[in-house]
Amino acid sequence: MIKKHIPNTITLANLSCGCIGIVACTKGDLALASYMIWLAAIFDFFDGFTARLFKVSSPIGKELDSLADMVTFGVLPAFILFSIQENLISGVLSYVSFALALFSALRLAKFNIDTKQTNGFIGMPTPAAAFFVSGLVFWPSNSSLIGTSSSILFISIALSLLLVAPIPMLALKFKDYSIRNNISRYLLVIVSIILLVIFKKQSFPLIISFYLILSLSVAFMDKRKQG
């Protein structure tokens, strides 16, 4: 009886991270907000893992997971972008950052009713966009990536559009562990580890950028094989 509540409890822990992260943004602690995204991602993995392990998957669990992801991987990274933008230039332009939250909601709603995203994604998954934003916090404030209002504006719009773009994206779902059938997934894992070791907290924008390029390359090659 207790086992059926474990996945939903973990999902609520994910949601709690999102709430704490938003409060951290309001207090100017963007590092803590980013840590909450990373911690939430761990909870997001384990809620599905435990549901499958205990065979207690349920419709309410699926809906709860989307609601938690909306806050943690949609609203929270939008708040982070808004906070960075406010430090550069305050005003109406800063609110464009919340486009990320709006498009995250749209992406999650589409994902819930789409039966074609079982082995891969169509459009960038919300955690990937959130990880990209979380790493920006640790880049130097005078860097070209986050040093200008226009760069944050571009990132906000680009990530928002990528969430709903009809682009096939890789998912780390292994049907088997052969290199031949999973070479792109192994490449993603290896390059991500290398970037993480070299750049540490600053690595996530680079990792997600590589993920996007790799996904586009795989989609292009698959299309050439089919045509």
CATH code at 195?
A: 1.20.120.1760
Q: What is the pLDDT of residue 222?
A: 78
Cα(56)–Cα(13) distance, integer angstroms: 18
Domain count across the chain = 1
Cα(88)–Cα(152) distance, integer angstroms: 9
Cα(9)–Cα(15) distance, integer angstroms: 10
Residue count of the chain, please give it.
227
Full domain range(s) for residue 176: 3-226
pLDDT above 70 covers a percentage of the chain that reads: 97
Given a cut of 70, whether residue 120 has pLDDT beyond it is: yes
Q: What is the pLDDT of residue 200?
A: 95
Cα(208)–Cα(69) distance, integer angstroms: 18
**pLDDT tens across 143-172, in order?**
888 889 999 999 999 999 999 999 999 988
Give 168's strand partners.
Answer: 122
**pLDDT tens across 182-216, in order?**
899 999 999 999 999 999 999 999 999 999 999 99
Given a cut of 70, whether residue 118 has pLDDT beyond it is: no
pTM for this prediction:
0.93
Element (H, E) at 7: helix 6-26
Candidates 24, 27, 50, 49; CA nearest to 37 is 24
Cα(45)–Cα(186) distance, integer angstroms: 19
Candidates 212, 207, 105; CA nearest to 164 is 105
Q: What is the pLDDT of residue 98?
A: 97
